[in-house]
Structures are given as structure tokens and as C-alpha cells.
Amino acid sequence: MKPLKPWVLGIIVVVLGLVGMGATVLTERASAPTAVLPLSALGSMAFIGVMTLALGIRVLRWRTGHRKRMLDPIFAARTLVLAHACAYAGAVLLGWHAGVIADQIPFLAARAGNPIVRQAFGMMAGGIAMIAIGFIVERFCRIPPEEGEEAEGAPDGPGRRAPDTEGGLA
């Protein structure tokens, strides 16, 4: 599996920011409520983040030598996929709510105490936390290089490709 690329997450944030800003403009023109997740969604985001981190720590503990029994490689791969999903979801939420805030910038002085602004800032903070957890758990799931691989020094042939990271991902 390929590692997370910060520039891809950045593109997601920017694109969703523009979409969120456009949607906010359209909802204001239609006198509809602004599309912001409620603060209760932070609880769900926190649960997802904590579970991802807990599963990642389990993989890290096994990888660092605290082994009572063999770790299922499918479990490690699923944990890695969950970390990637967490980071992508955080980027989507960060981008959307940053777009909402970007539309509200001219009115922030008058609407600073508005619950919509507080909710958007809270969701942005939650999105940043989810992205960070995704990167951290991805780091936990790195597979250390085999001892024999570096000693052999086999050249990369036309059919072999150098790993993306030091030892690859689960």
C-alpha cells in the first residue's frame, strides 16, 4: 500500500474548501441554513480517532517487540486502511468547514459568537486531528526492512522497484 501523500490531502482540502464556500454562498442566497456539522459530530470523530490510534498502538507494540503471539497481517493492513480513511475524512471535513469560514470572513466581526462559526472551527480542529492521527498510525504500521535484504545488496532489476519508504507499509 502506498503511503499518504500530504499534497493529495492538501488538494482535497482546497477543492472541498472551494465547494464548501460555493455551497455556503448558495445556501445564503436561498435563505437556507448553512451546511455545518453539529458539535455532536466531534464525538463521533473523537471515537473514530481514538479507535484508530488504539489499533495502531497495538500494531506498534507488536512491531517493537512486545509480542505474546503473532499479529495477524490482515489486522495490520486493515489498521493501515483505517488510518488512511481517517486522514482522508479529516481532509474532507477540514476543507468543507474551512470553505464555510472563508465565506464568513467578511462577517466574522459581527458573527464571532455565532454558533455556526464555532461549529465550523470545531470541525476544522477535528479534521486536523483526524489527519494527524492518520499519519501517526500510518507510521506505526511501517514494516521494518528485513535484515537479509540490505546485506544482499541486490540491484534493482527491470522487474523490481525500490520501496516507497524505508521498509514499506503493512
Q: Is 98 exposed, middle or buried (0-12, 13-18, 19+ CB in 10 A)?
A: buried
Query: What pLDDT was estimated at residue 159?
Result: 54
If you search the block for the grid coordinates 474532507, which residue do you land on?
A: 92
Rounded Cα–Cα distance for residues 3 and 6 (Å): 10
Q: Where are the beta strands (DSSP E) in 15-130?
A: none
The structure's pTM equals 0.82
Q: What averages of pLDDT result for each successive group of 10 residues across the chain (170 residues)?
A: 91 96 92 89 96 94 81 89 96 95 83 81 96 95 67 50 57
If you search the block for the grid coordinates 504500521, which residue do you land on?
A: 141
Query: What pLDDT was estimated at residue 161?
Result: 54
Rounded Cα–Cα distance for residues 29 and 23 (Å): 10
Rounded Cα–Cα distance for residues 91 and 164 (Å): 23
155 three-class SS: coil
